[in-house]
Amino acid sequence: MSRHRKASIVATTFAAVALAGCTDAGGLEIMNETDAGIEVNVDGIVDMVEPYGGVIYLDHGCTEGDVTITLADGTNLSVVGPVCPPDRIVVRDGAAALVTPASDG
């Protein structure tokens, strides 16, 4: 096997392993813990989330890019993507945080 082919196989395997964590099509959850509605943009899907409410994108899996959140006062927040379940986005106190659930093990 040529050196170039070995490098290509290693690079392809590395890319597949690196992306494996972002292939699960679980539900992407966004929680609004503020007293005002917010607008969320997930991969071009724009939804309004009520105060102290939330939205779950069932079987969405990982986002293709960043998630944009617009607060009631017009402030735009960005969560760098991809964002993958089971992580969720929580909006509170003028900020958006990516929250990873505690492991059961």
pTM for the predicted model, two decimal places: 0.73
Residues whose CB falls within 8 Å of the CB of residue 63, separated by 6 or more in sequence, listed in order:
28, 42, 43, 81, 82, 83, 84
Asked if residue 53 belongs to a domain, the reply is: yes
Which pLDDT belongs to residue 3?
Answer: 56
- The answer to whether the peptide bond before residue 86 is cis (omega within 30 degrees of 0) is yes
The tens digit of pLDDT for each residue in 46-81 reads 999 999 999 999 989 999 999 999 999 999 999 999
**Confidence bin at 20 (pLDDT 50/70/90):** very low
In a domain, 33, yes or no: yes
In a domain, 11, yes or no: no
7 lies in a domain? Answer: no
More confidently predicted of 5 and 100? 100
The domain of 91 spans: 24-99
pLDDT in tens, 26-37: 899 999 999 999
Query: Of 75, 85, 71, whose CA–CA distance to 29 is shortest?
Result: 85
Our count of domains for the chain comes to 1
- The DSSP 8-state label assigned to residue 103 in this structure reads P
Cis peptide before 101 (omega within 30 of 0): no
CATH number of the domain encompassing residue 86: 2.60.40.2890
Question: Percent of the chain, pLDDT > 90?
Answer: 69
In a domain, 95, yes or no: yes
Q: Do the domain assignments include residue 8? A: no
Residue 13 lies in a domain: no
